[in-house]
């Protein structure tokens, strides 16, 4: 089961947000949502610093995933610092390849090549949301809450 997709720029501000099966859902434009996004941005940012400083192998380490009792967060960061995070239920397998696809195919096509979009600003292009929605809904783990 897939819950939420977040995209952050390299200074940790939210560029994009979309959710699917969440029972507890913040309202669009509400204070709660803004808070959630800034918390998530800050978390990913701090985790990166944290991983870097405690990693036993020196540099070149990055956070790919963490889990709680209720959900799992998959994370992918592009070398230019755009962070993609997706939350799912605990049974969903690793989604890094999918996040990579969202970056290399959808993000590049609909955001980077959009002449109206300046790097790092929130994504307003509806084509991107549509493409992401379509792609995520087609994933085998989109709505099943068990191993497929």
Angstrom distance (rounded) from CA 29 to CA 107: 23
- The interface mask with other proteins, positions 97-116, x = CB under 8 A, is ---x--xxx-xx---xx---
Question: Long-range contact list for 135-138, CB < 8 A, 24+ apart?
Answer: 135/98, 135/101, 135/102, 135/106, 136/2, 136/5, 136/18, 136/20, 137/20
**3 versus 16: smaller Cβ distance to other proteins:** 16
* Contact positions with other proteins (CB under 8 A) in 23-82: 34, 38, 42, 45, 48, 59-60, 78-82
Q: Please measure the distance between the N-terminal and C-terminal CA atoms of the chain and give it in whole angstroms.
A: 11
Beta carbon nearer to other proteins, 10 or 129: 10
Residues contributing to the site for other proteins (CB under 8 A)? 10-13, 34, 38, 42, 45, 48, 59-60, 78-82, 100, 103-105, 107-108, 112-113, 119
């Amino acid at each position: 089961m897939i819950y939420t997709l977040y995209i952050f720029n390299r200074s940790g501000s939210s560029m994009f947000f979309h959710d699917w099966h969440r029972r507890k859902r913040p309202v669009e434009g509400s204070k709660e949502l803004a808070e959630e996004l800034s918390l998530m941005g800050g978390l990913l940012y701090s985790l990166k610093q944290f991983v870097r400083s405690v990693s036993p192998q020196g540099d070149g380490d990055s956070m790919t995933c963490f889990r709680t009792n209720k959900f799992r967060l998959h994370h992918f960061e592009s070398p230019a610092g755009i962070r993609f995070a997706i939350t799912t239920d605990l049974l969903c397998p690793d989604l890094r390849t999918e996040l990579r696809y969202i970056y290399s195919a959808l993000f590049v096509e609909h955001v980077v090549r959009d002449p109206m979009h300046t790097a790092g600003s929130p994504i307003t292009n509806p084509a991107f949301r549509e493409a992401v929605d379509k792609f995520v809904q087609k994933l085998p783990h989109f709505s099943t809450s068990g191993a497929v």
